[in-house]
């Protein structure tokens, strides 16, 4: 199995992708391990976090799951090809963006690294898919809701969609039942106070709650 295909399988199997947007990544290794312990199989750092590239390289080195195929590590908030190339050089296994930038998507396709560009309208979403997106990040999903996914997938059932923005424990199952292949979750999971205080048990428990909600929603489909 190609590494890119394995990455997508990991993202879909866990179903929840924590989006790490923090001002301090000095505890990134402990944070990542806590999330993995809670059942997460994919993790997204973001370029808006200071030191994100260095943290990504560190996690690839220090967390065995990211090198042995048990979990995937990606970089988000990638806006252009240079940012994508820098993240891939540091070991990013997938690239996520809040926007659809076709040159960035093209670079990822050329390097066989799964890309998850952001899109909002049906035309943007289909354009991203046709250009080679592995998953389309529907952002900001809080403005759309699960019914948008159900309506969109009726005529476009081939799409792999991941809502991000406004996803929490209350609605994550609704997005999955509406057809999302995974969800992206920020502060509802990766709470700054837990990371600052080293409350890894709370972080693992919250990750477990999301993983359980995803699995239950899939079982109910």
125 φ, ψ (degrees, to nearest 5): -65, -45
Q: What is the gyration radius of the CA atoms in the chain, in angstroms?
A: 16
- Mean pLDDT computed over 151-166: 97
pLDDT tens for 160-198 read 999 999 999 999 999 999 999 999 999 999 999 999 999
What is the rounded average pLDDT of the residues 60-64? 96
Q: How big is the CA angle at 46 (ends 41 and 52), to the nearest 5 degrees?
A: 100
**CATH class belonging to 3-215:** alpha beta
Residue among 9, 12, 44, 205 flagged as catalytic: 44
Mean pLDDT of the chain: 96
- 112-147: pLDDT as tens digits: 999 999 999 999 999 999 999 999 999 999 889 999
Q: How far is the C-alpha of 47 from the C-alpha of 13, rounded, in Å?
A: 25
Helix ranges (DSSP H) in 63-170: 81-89, 102-110, 122-130, 146-153
Q: Where are the domains of the chain?
A: 3-215
205 a catalytic residue = no
Answering whether pTM is above 0.75, one says: yes
Helix (H, G, I), strand (E, B) or coil at 141: helix
d(CA 200, CA 156): 40
CA distance 109 to 146: 29
Catalytic residue among 54, 137, 192, 205: 137
192 catalytically annotated: no
């Amino acid at each position: 199995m190609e590494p890119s295909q394995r990455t997508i399988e990991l993202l879909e199997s866990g179903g929840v992708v924590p989006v790490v947007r923090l001002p301090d990544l000095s505890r990134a290794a402990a944070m990542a391990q806590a999330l993995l312990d809670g059942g997460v199989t994919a993790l997204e750092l973001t370029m808006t976090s200071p030191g994100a590239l260095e943290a990504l390289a560190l996690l690839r080195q220090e967390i065995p799951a990211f090198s042995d195929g048990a979990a995937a590590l990606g970089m988000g908030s990638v806006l252009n090809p240079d940012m994508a190339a820098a993240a891939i050089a540091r070991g990013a296994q997938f690239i996520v963006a809040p926007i659809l930038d076709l040159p960035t998507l093209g670079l990822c396709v050329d390097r066989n690294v799964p890309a998850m560009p952001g899109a909002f309208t049906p035309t943007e979403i289909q354009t991203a898919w046709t250009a080679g997106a592995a998953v389309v990040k529907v952002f900001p999903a809080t403005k759309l809701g699960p019914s948008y996914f159900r309506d969109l997938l009726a005529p476009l059932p081939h799409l792999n969609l991941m809502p991000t923005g406004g996803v929490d424990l209350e609605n994550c199952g609704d997005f999955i039942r509406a057809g999302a292949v995974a969800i992206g979750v920020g502060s509802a999971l990766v709470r700054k106070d837990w990371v600052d205080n080293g409350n890894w048990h709370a972080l693992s428990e919250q990750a477990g709650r999301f993983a359980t909600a995803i699995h239950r929603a899939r079982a109910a489909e």
